[in-house]
Amino acid sequence: MNDKLVLEVNALTKSYSTSGGPLTVLRDVTFGLGESRTCAIVGPSGSGKTTLLGLCAGLDQPTSGTVHLNGIGIHGMNEDGRAQLRSLLIGFVFQNFQLLSTLTARENVMVPVELRGDSGADDLAIELLDRVGLADRMDHYPVQLSGGEQQRVALARAFINRPKILFADEPTGNLDSDTSGKVIDLLFDLNRAAGTALVLVTHNLELASMTDCIIKLRGGKMVGSL
């Protein structure tokens, strides 16, 4: 891995303080991900996958260790700094879609561009929605869309900012296998086309095997990577 690393994680540890003393849910995780590379995080439920993803994406503060996104250390930043970085570098796809229920499909897709204060959001959103095959459903609200359609809107939203890296937490966990297949194909297509790096949390080993590397977690520790 000589090329420039988009994500670099070093000795990452996360503990929560609970009533029964500190609970370490992630211990000493280290890995790196190059530009346009894909990586899957796998492990049993409760092993710390979501925690790791959240830390990498700057959604939370690590207890110790460092995270660099595109060479910038985010572990020391405050929330607003990380928020700004997120709007510049990162895209998200979630298990339960997380569309804003009061916004139409198109408006949902536009949000990241509008947040940066850039113009032309409308055209970009239309173009992307067309790519995910929802050109005719643009002005529908999330409740009017099926799960698969909602996830496709989420994909369009994730890519509209041309992110450097995309984080996906069990993106197909709530979808049937047929629909999952389509969403996965779309995800990898868009990824390849945009040259985005991808971190994917999944239970699905078949899906994991499509990525460049796999990180296995058990009880918060890395038990191997491929």
Partner 1 sequence: MMFDRWIWLMAWRDSRASRRKLFLFSCSIVLGIAALVSITSLGRNLELAVADQAKTLLGADLVVSARQPFSARAEELIKELGGEQAREVAFSSMALFPKTEGTRLVQIRSLTDGFPFYGKFETAPVEAGESFRSLPGALVEESLMNQFNAKVGDPIKLGQLILPIAGILQKIPGEALVFSTIAPRVYIPATELPKTKLVKAESLARFKVFIKYPSTINVEALAKKHRNTSKDLRLELETVEDRKRDLGRSLNNLQTFLSLGGFIALLLGGVGVASAIHVHVKEKVPGVAVLRCLGASASRTVQIYVAQGMGLGLTGAIVGGALGVILQFFLPRVVQDFVALQIDYRIAWPSVFGAMGAGFLICVLFTLLPILPLRRVSPLAVLRASEAEPLQGDPARWLIFGLMGLGITAFSLWQSTKWYHGLAFTGGILAAFGLLAGVAKILTQVARKVISRSWPYVWRQGLANLHRPNNRTTLLMLSLGLGTFLVLTMFLVQQTLLVDLLPSGHGRQPNTVLFDVQSDQIEGVERLLKDRDLEILQRSPVVTMRLASVKGRAIGDLLKAPDRQRAPNWVLRREFRSTWRDQLVDTEESVAGYWPAERAQDVTPISLESGIAKDLGVTIGDDLVFDVQGVPITTRVAHLRNVDWRRMSPNFFVVFPSNSLEAAPAFHILTTRTPTAAAGAEMHHELIGTFPNISLIDLTLVLKTVDVIISKISLAVRFMAMFILGTGFLVLVAAILTGRYQRMQESILLRTLGASRRKVLQILLIEYFLLGFFASLTGVLLALGGAWALVHFTFKLPFHPPMLAAMVTVTSVCVITMGTGLAMSWGVLNRPPLEILRGE
CA of 154: how far to CAs of 95, 145, 202, in Å? 10, 12, 17
Report in angstroms how near the CB of residue 153 gets to Mg ion at its nearest.
Answer: 22
Binding at 98: pick from Mg ion, partner 1, ligand ADP, none (beta carbon under 5-8 Å per type): partner 1
Q: How far is the CB of 213 from ligand ADP (least distance, A)?
A: 18
DSSP 143: G
Query: Mask 8-27, x = binds ligand ADP (CB under 6 A)?
Result: --------x-x----x-x--
Task: For residue 172, give the amino acid letter.
Answer: T
CB of 161 to partner 1, least distance (A): 8
Minimum gap (Å) between residue 74 Cβ and ligand ADP: 18
Tokens found for residue 213: 């590397």
Using CB under 6 A, pick the residue from 47, 104, 108, 204 that binds ligand ADP: 47
Window 100-129: contact mask with partner 1 (x via CB under 8 A): xxxx---x---xx-xxxx------------
Residue 27 CA to residue 38 CA, distance in Å, equals 23
Distances 220 to 75, 83, 116, 134, 194 between C-alpha atoms, Å: 19, 26, 35, 39, 32
In terms of CB distance, is 43 or 148 closer to ligand ADP? 43
- Which residue, among 226, 157, 217, 161, has the nearest Cα to 28 in the 3D structure? 217
- Strand locations in the chain, DSSP E? 5-18, 21-34, 38-42, 64-69, 72-73, 90-93, 165-169, 197-201, 213-218, 221-225
Q: Which is nearer to ligand ADP, 16 or 144 (CB)?
A: 16
CB closer to Mg ion out of 50 and 87: 50
Q: Is 50 in the site for Mg ion (CB under 5 A)?
A: yes
Closest to Mg ion by CB, 36 or 50: 50
Q: Give SS3 for 38.
A: strand
By C-beta, is 34 or 173 nearer to ligand ADP? 173
92 lies in the site for partner 1, by CB under 8 A: yes
- Collapse the DSSP code of 45 into the 3-class scheme (helix H, G, I; strand E, B; otherwise coil) and give the result: coil
Angle at 20 between CA 224 and CA 216, to 5 degrees: 10
Interaction site with partner 1 (CB under 8 A): 50, 53-54, 57, 59-60, 79-80, 83-88, 90, 92, 94, 98-103, 107, 111-112, 114-117, 143, 157, 169
Interaction site with ligand ADP (CB under 6 A): 16, 18, 23, 25, 43, 45-51
